[in-house]
Structure 1
Amino acid sequence: MTITTELQDVVAESLVVDGAQLIDGEWVPSHTGRTIDVINPANRALIARVPESDAEDVEHAVQAAERAFPAWRDLNATARGALIFRWADLIEQNGAAIDSLESQEVGRPSWGPPPMAAQLRFIAGQADKVQGVSLPTYSPDTVGYTLREPYGVVGAVIPWNAPGPMFATEVGSAIAAGNTIVLKPAEDAPLTPLALAKLALDAGIPAGVVNVVTGYGAEAGAAIPAHPRIRRVGFTGSPQTGRSIMEACAKNLTPLHLELGGKSPQVIFDDADLDTAIPAIAAGITLNTGQICAAGSRVVVDRRVHAEVVDRLAAAMQKVTVGPWHQQVNMGPLINARQHERVCGYIDIGREQGATIVTGGGRPAGADFADGWFVEPTLFDGVTPDMRIAQEEIFGPVLSVIPVDDEAQAIEVANGVDYGLVASVWTQSVGRAVRMTRALQAGQVGVNNALGAGVIGAPFGGYKNSGFGRTMGADSVLDWTQVKTVSMREAPLPRF
C-alpha cells in the first residue's frame, strides 16, 4: 500500500506529521513502535499513519497535562478566551485544508468552511463568564460564596463521524474552563483532531494543555476513563461503548457526560408543509451517509398523507448523488468495511422482517464505486414499530416509514424506542406543536426543521439511552468545572 498525494498535501500544509501524535507540544511516535493506517473510505487508499498507542502513551500525555495545568489554570480567563479566539482564527485561515482532510478520512463530500471556528468563538466568549455566587449567612461578620474551578486533567474520547466539530466542542469547553486535556480520536478519523491540536499550539495555547493520543479503543481509549488522575471524562459514541466507559469511570468515581446514539423520529401530520419537510428529511438521512447520531431515521406519518409522503421521499432520495469526496455529490461512502457490512445487514433484516424497499437497497454500480464502501440511499415502507430497522440505530442512509392514525399513536410510536436524542414535528398547528414538544422524549425537538437548525448555542444531549449531560450550550464551559463553597469570617483578636 502506498501513500497517496493526499498525505503529501497534508504534510505540505504542516497540519499533521505521518506516524506521530501530539503530546506535550511535540510530534511523537508511540512507545509500541506500531502504527495504524488511516484509509480513505472512498477508494481504500492510504492517507497517513498514526501511532498505535496504549495506556503507557496515555500516561505520558497525562503527565504532560499535569505539568501544564497549574499555569493554565492560573492564567486569567479573559486571556484563555483570547487564545481560543486566536485558535479559531487559525482554523478559519486553514479552512480549506481542514475541510479536505476531514472529507478524505471520513469519506464525505466537501461541506465548505468548517464549523469549528464558529464553535470555538462561542466557547471563547464563555471563558470569562464562569462565575460563582454570593451566599446568605447567619451573621453579618461572615461572608459566603462559591467558586467554580477546573477539575484539572480531563479526558475525552470522540467518534469518527464528525471528528473536527467533536474535537472543538470537547477540547474548547474543557480548556476554556482552565482544564488541560488528553483526547483519543477514533482510529478511523484521527487526522483532523491532530491538525486542530497543532493549530491550537500555533495559536499560543501552551504545550501540554491539549494532547492527542491515537490508537484503538480497547487500548488507548479504555486507558482514559480508567486513569485515576483524569478527573472528568467526555464520551461520544455508541451506547455499548458508553456503558463500558461509565463502568471504568465508576471505579475511580470519575464524573462524565455521555452523548450516545439516536433513533430520531420525523413526525409528519396531515397539515405539514411537505414542500419543506420532504427535502429536509431526505437530506437529513443522507448527510454524512446517515452516519449522524441525530439523523431522523424514522418517518412517523399520518396515514392520510402516508402514500404521498412515501412517493415524494422516494423521488427526493433518488435525486441524491453519490460519489467520492472530490466530486460535487450529496453523499459519500460509509466509513469502513465493518460499517458497510452493518448497514447492508440491516437492509437485509428489513426485507426479512417484511418491510418493503421503495428505493435503494443495494450498492451503486460503476468504476467510481468499485473500491469504496458505498451504499444506496434506502427507503423502507410497510415498517411496523417493532421491526429491528425501526428500533435499532443503523447509522446509515436508511429511512423507515411508519404510518399512524392519530396524534396519540404518533407519540407512542415516536417514544417507543430506547433512544431519545432528537425528534422533529412537521405541522402548521401551533397547539399541536406545543403538545408534541412536551410529549416527545428527546433532548432536542425541532418544529418544522429536521435537525434543530438555526439556533446558536443550543444545548445538545439525550434522554434515555442517548446519554446524559449537555454540550455546545452556554453552560458547556460550566460543565467542565466543579463548585467550591467558601465561608469566611474574621478571626477574633487575641486577648492579652
Structure 2
Amino acid sequence: MTITTDHQATIDSALRVDGVQLIGGEWVTSGTGRTIDVVNPANREVIARVPRSDADDVDLAIKAAEKAFPAWRDLDASSRARLLFRWADLIEEHNAELDSLESQEVGRPSWGPPPMANQIRFIAGQADKVQGVSLPTRSTGSLGLTLREPYGVVGGVIPWNAPGPMFANEVGPAIAAGNTMVMKPAEDAPLTPLALAKLALEAGIPAGVINVVTGYGHEAGAAIPADPRIRRMGFTGSPQTGRAIMESCARNLTPLHLELGGKSPQVVFPDADLDAAIPAMTMGITLNTGQVCAAGSRVVVHRSIHAEVVERLAAQMRKVTVGPWHQQVAMGPLINQKQHERVLSYIEIGKEQGAELVTGGGRPQGEEFGDGFFVEPTLFDKVSPGMRIAQEEIFGPVLSVIPVDDEAEAIEVANGVDYGLVASVWTRDIGTAVRASRALQAGQVGVNTPIGAGTVIGGPFGGYKNSGFGRTMGADSVLDWTQVKTVSMQGAPIPRG
C-alpha cells in the first residue's frame, strides 16, 4: 500500500447548501432548531451543517408534496420529460462541483465525471413511454384498457456511500412517473442530494415535487414510511434498517422496494485471465474504500491457482494509493468513526477465527493520518466459508480468499451466504460462464468484470435473498413507480331504425 497525503483542500461551490433543507421549494431550517455536522472523513473537519429534522418537518414536506401532486400528475408526460432533460443538462454543467462535493463528504477520490446526468437522461427518456394496454372484451360494444398512474406522494431513504447516484436512482423515476417525493439522505452525506435538488428547482421542476429532509434515520427517516400519506417507499441500506422500514410500510400496506447490500463472490476458475482479473478484483474491493454494496469481497478460487492468485492479489493491493479526496489516489478513508471501528473489528475477528492475514490489517502509519478514518487495504487467505468475514457484509476494503476444489464447490460456496446482490465469474470458457451465470443466486452476474453488470446500460439492479427485492436502473424503473388501473368502457346500444 502506498500512502499519499497533504493538507486538506476544500472547494467552495454555490451548490453547497449549509444549515437548510428543501421543503415546498423553500430552503428552511428545522423546527427543532438543531443541526448536524457534516464531517470530512479524511480529517474530521466540519464541511457544513444541515438541519436535524423530526416528524414535524417530515409532515411539512408531505403537505408540500401533496399540494404539488395534482398539477405535476396532470402535466403531460412529455413536458415532465423535458424538465428532467433540463435537469440533466444542469447537472452536467456542474459535474466538477458535484464530483468534488461528494468526494469531500464521502471521502472518496474523484471518479471522474459523475453519472447522475446520464442517469436522469435515461429516466427522462422513459417518462413519456409509460403505456397501458388494450384488453379483449366479450362484446363489440365495449372497450377494455389499462392505465398506469402515479401513486401520489412517495418517499425515499438513501445511504451515504454514493449519495448523488442514489438520489438520481430514486427521485428521477419517481417524479418522471408523476409522483411527488419526500427524500431523506444519510446524515453523513446529504450535501450532494441537496445540491441536486437545488439544480432541479433551477431546471424548472415545480416547488414541492422534490422535498429533501435532512436528519437522523431514527427521527426524520423513520417518520417517512410511518406516515400513511406516503403511498410508496424506496430504501437502500442495511438489512436491519430495511426490516424496520418494511415493518412501518406493512402497517400502512405501503408497497416498497429494498436494496440491502451484499457479500459478492468473485468466482475464479483455472482458465481465468489473471492479468485482467487481479487488478479488477483489487479495484472491486478498494473502490470507495470497499463501501459499495456490490463490492466483490470474497474470492472463491480453484485450488490449482490459489497460491498464484493470493500472491498476485497481495502485490496488487500493496500498490493501492491511499489519501484524501483531492489527491491522485485510489482509495480514501472510511465514512465515519463508527464504520472505522466496525471494519477494524472485523479484521480482528478474521484473525481470531483463524484466517491468515496476508497484507494490510490496520491503520496507515503516520501522524498525518491520526484524525482521518483511514484503513489499509486488507487481504485474508485460508478463509473458510463459515467464518464471519466470509458471511457478513463488512463494507470496507477487506478481501477474503476461499479455495475450492471444483466448480460444484465453487457455486455452493458462492451461494452459501444470506445475500444475493452481485456475483462475478472469471473464465475464458463460455460453457463454464453459462453454467455459473445460471447457478449463481444474484440479481446481477458479471463475467470477467468485478462488479455485476459492469458497463451495461440500463441493467436492472437489485438482489436475491437478504439483498432485498425490487429493481432500479432498468428500462422499467419509471413503470415501477406507477400503479395499474383497469378501465372497462361500455358503449351505449346502437339505436334501431
Runs of 5+ unmatched residues, structure 1: none
Q: Which residue of 2 aligns with 1:464?
A: 465
Partner of 2:67: 67
Q: 1:5: how far off?
A: 7.9
SS at match of 1:206: coil
Return the offset for 1:16: 3.5
Gaps of 5+ in 2: 1-7
RMSD: 1.2
CA distance in 2, matches of 1:485, 1:366: 66
Answering whether residue 127 of structure 2 is matched by residue 127 of structure 1, we say yes
Counterpart contact for 2:289–2:334, Cα < 8 Å = yes
Q: d(CA) in 2 for partners of 1:17 and 1:281? A: 36
Q: Does 1:483 align with 2:481?
A: no
SS for the counterpart of 2:321 is coil
**Partner residue of 2:426?**
426
SS at match of 1:129: coil
Q: Which amino acid aligns with 2:434?
A: V
Residue equivalent to 2:49: 49
Equivalent position of 1:378 in the other structure: 378
Partner in structure 2 of residue 274 of structure 1: 274
* Partners of 1:405 and 1:157 in 2: CA distance: 42
User: Which aligned pairs between 1:15-414 and structure 2 lie closer than 5 A?
Assistant: 15-414=15-414
Alpha-carbon distance between aligned partners in 2 of 1:189 and 1:325, rounded to the nearest angstrom: 14
TM-score after normalising by structure 1: 0.97
- After superposing on structure 2, the runs of 4+ consecutive aligned residues of structure 1 that deviate more than 3 Å are 4-7, 491-495
Q: Which amino acid aligns with 2:475?
A: A
CA contact (8 A) 1:324 1:368 kept: no
For the residues of structure 1 that align with 2:142 and 2:367, how far apart are their CA atoms? Answer: 77
Q: Could you tell me how far apart the structure 1 residues matched to 2:475 and 2:9 are?
A: 41
Cα 1:374/1:5, change in 2 over 3 Å: closer
Aligned residues: 488
Counterparts of 1:492 and 1:233, CA distance in 2: 45
- The answer (yes or no) to whether the contact 2:294–2:422 under 8 Å persists in 1 is yes
Alpha-carbon separation, structure 1, partners of 2:424 and 2:230: 37
CA offsets per residue over residues 352-392 of structure 1, 9 Å max, x none?
A: 00001100001111243121000000000010000000000
Distance 1:252 1:491 in 2: 40
Kept in 2, the 8 Å contact 1:290–1:395? The answer is: yes
What is the distance in 2 between the residues matched to 1:188 and 1:157?
Answer: 13
The residue type paired with residue 87 of structure 1 is: W
Q: In the TM superposition, what whole-angstrom CA distance separates every residue of 1:238-257 from its partner, at most 9, and x where no partner exists?
A: 00000000000000000000
Residue 128 of structure 2 aligns to a residue whose secondary structure is helix
Moved more, 434-443 or 485-494: 485-494
What is the rounded CA distance, in whole Å, between the counterparts of 1:316 and 1:48 in structure 2?
36
Structure 2 Cα separation of the partners of residues 266 and 118 of structure 1: 28
Letter of the 1:103 counterpart: S
Residue 183 of structure 1: how far off its partner (Å): 0.2
The CA distance in 2 between the partners of 1:286 and 1:260, in whole Å, is 20
Q: SS of the residue aligned with 1:201?
A: helix
Once the two structures are TM-superposed, the CA of residue 17 in structure 1 deviates from its matched residue by 3.1
Residue number in structure 1 paired with 2:3: none
Letter in 1 for 2:47: I
| In structure 2, C-alpha distance between the alignment counterparts of 1:369 and 1:215, rounded to whole Å | 29
1:378-435 C-alpha deviation (Å, 9 max, x unpaired)? 0000100000000000000000000000000001000000000000000111111100
Secondary structure in 2 aligned to 1:123? Answer: helix
Please state whether the residue corresponding to 1:42 is helix, strand or coil.
coil
2:16 and 2:101 in contact (8 A); partners too: no
**Normalized against structure 2, the TM-score is what?**
0.97
Question: 1:184-231: per-residue Cα shift (whole Å, max 9, x none)?
Answer: 000000000000000000000000000000000000000011011000
Contact 1:16 1:198 in 2 (8 A): no
- Cα distance in 1 for residues equivalent to 2:417 and 2:221: 28
Identity in percent: 80
Rounded to whole Å, the distance in 1 between the matches of 2:9 and 2:459 is 39
Displacement after TM superposition at 1:492 (Å):
4.4
1:435 — aligned with what? 435
1:24-66 Cα distance to aligned partner (Å, 9 max, x none) = 1111000000000000000000000000000110000000001
Aligned equivalents of 2:249 and 2:106: distance in 1?
Answer: 29
- Does the Cα contact within 8 Å between 1:17 and 1:27 map onto a contact in 2? no
Determine the structure 1 residue equivalent to 2:475: 474
